[in-house]
């Protein structure tokens, strides 16, 4: 029996949510686990693109590139998604360098309660 890895299906679906080509979704799932394997403090953590983030990136692409509907390759959308991802990573890196983790501790209960309802 053929068994398909759920990570493959998740990344293909989430690339569709982000309005980019499916191959970009596959590329997005490769570097994060590799970097986390070197820098991460625990062995058990799933580091993959999330559905909520994919929806936000897709909406940003839709709002900013609505006039480029004649781009069949999706190259411009992929470039915009890469830029958004790079900037989010840069902000996260700077927050870590400046020791801004306490902001997460203060805000976490509020965010966790909002997901429960």
Q: If pLDDT is split at 50, 70 and 90, which confidence band does 112 have?
A: low
In the predicted model, is pLDDT for residue 113 greater than 60?
Answer: yes
Using CA atoms, how far apart are residues 114 and 62, in angstroms rounded to an integer?
Answer: 26
Contact in structure between 24 and 78 (CB atoms under 8 Å): yes
Q: What is the pLDDT of residue 4?
A: 62
Rg of the chain's alpha carbons, rounded to an integer? Answer: 16
pLDDT in tens, 50-89: 788 888 888 998 888 876 666 656 788 888 988 998 998 8
Q: Which residues contact 12 (CB under 8 A, 6 or more apart)?
A: 22, 25, 26
- For the segment 3-58, what is each residue's pLDDT rounded down to a tens digit? 667 777 888 888 888 888 888 888 877 887 788 888 878 777 667 777 888 888 88
**Alpha-carbon span 61 to 68, nearest angstrom:** 10
CB 24 within 8 A of CB 85: no
């Amino acid at each position: 029996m053929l068994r398909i890895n759920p990570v493959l299906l998740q990344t293909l679906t989430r690339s569709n949510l982000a309005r980019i080509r499916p191959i970009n979704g596959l590329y997005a799932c490769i570097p994060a686990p590799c970097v986390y394997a070197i820098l991460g403090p625990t062995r058990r953590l799933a580091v993959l693109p999330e559905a909520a983030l994919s929806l936000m990136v897709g909406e940003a692409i839709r709002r900013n590139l609505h006039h480029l509907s004649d781009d069949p390759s999706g190259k411009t959308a992929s470039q915009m998604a890469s830029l958004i991802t790079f900037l989010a990573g840069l902000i996260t890196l700077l927050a870590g360098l400046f020791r801004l983790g306490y902001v997460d501790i203060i805000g976490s209960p509020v965010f966790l309660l909002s997901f429960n309802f």
